Structure 1
Amino acid sequence: MPARWKDSGALRALREITRIGARLHHVLSRRTGLGPTDLTALELLSIEMMGPAELARHLDITTAAATGVVDRLEARGHVVRRPIPGDRRRTGVHITDAGRREAWLHLTPMFAALQANDAQFTEEERAVVERYLTGAANAINTVVEGDPRDLVDGAG
């Protein structure tokens, strides 16, 4: 850590959340029998339909690898490919009810606990937490989306 790093309870809690989040992905992967990339794809597709190329960009993998992910999820009945209306050249990947059930089956206890935790806060407190977490997500994204050379050059 940089010499001027100033730790706080909020930063420690955030590090713990990221550590547990990484572990959660491995646990869910083991329980569902889906690889980590397949699981992330299912999570993304539960939010919105996308084409294989777009899925590849979100997963940071090649389009050929994304096709393999979709093939595996389709074989398990978790997704289907459908033509995108108005563009006969493109295919959209849609999560099925079975795929949604698979995700929810394992995540429902966590979502219930998160809602119970959220209910303890006032709207004003939630706004502060949201602002903090959005800033934290943006900070993490500087590494995920950024060029490591920019980070080193900017640190000096």
Structure 2
Amino acid sequence: MRVRHELARRSRVSDSELSALEHLVREPMGPAELARLLEVSTAASTGVVDRLQTKGHVQREPHAEDRRRTVVTLTDSGRAEILGHLMPMFEALRALDADLDDTERAVVARYLRGAAAAFETVTGPPPAPRSTA
């Protein structure tokens, strides 16, 4: 949670806006779908999208198959904003990984799989990936 709050602070976005950006990094989606993922009302989701659009981090586009709907997409600016703040952490993790031999890496992987399973005793399994077909 500290990384999330610090990233939001440095990016000058709210926690909800950061969460929206995290979802939009994975794939574009409609405001109603984003509202469900953020667990907020569609009106609140619209406000999040409005603020992110004002900052140049997202844009609304017409839905490819249903012109009555819109799709929210992450802009290059939005992606650069988030990755720019995360890159030092990614580089440090890459360097740490490079210092491990295969045996050490296997132990770390086993530990992390076990830790994820332990978290799932509280949260349940992660949601299945959605079909794009």
Same fold by TM (over 0.5)?
yes
Q: Distance in 1 between matches of 2:52 and 2:69?
A: 19
Does 2:51 correspond to 1:39? Answer: no
Identity across matched positions, percent: 56
Greater share of helix: 1
**1:27-63 deviations in Å (ceiling 9; x for gaps):** 1222221101101111221221111122122222222
Kindly report structure 1 stretches of 4+ aligned residues shifted beyond 4 Å.
Answer: 122-128
In structure 2, the CA distance between the partners of 1:99 and 1:135, relative to structure 1 (3 Å rule), is same
Alignment of 1:79 with 2:58, yes or no, is: yes
Q: Choose between structure 1 and 2 for higher RCO, CA contacts under 8 A separated by at least 6 residues.
A: 2
SS in structure 1 at match of 2:59: strand
Quote the Cα distance in structure 2 between the aligned partners of 1:97 and 1:67: 20
Distance in 1 between residues matched to 2:19 and 2:34, nearest whole Å: 10
The alignment's TM-score, normalised by the length of structure 1, stands at 0.67
Structure 2: which 5+ residue stretches go unaligned?
Answer: 126-133
Rg larger for: 1
- Counterpart residue type for residue 2 of structure 2: R
SS in 1 for 2:71: strand
The structure-2 alpha-carbon separation of the partners of 1:93 and 1:126, relative to structure 1 and needing over 3 Å to count, comes to farther
Aligned residues: 125
Measured after TM superposition, the shift of residue 128 of structure 1 is 5.3
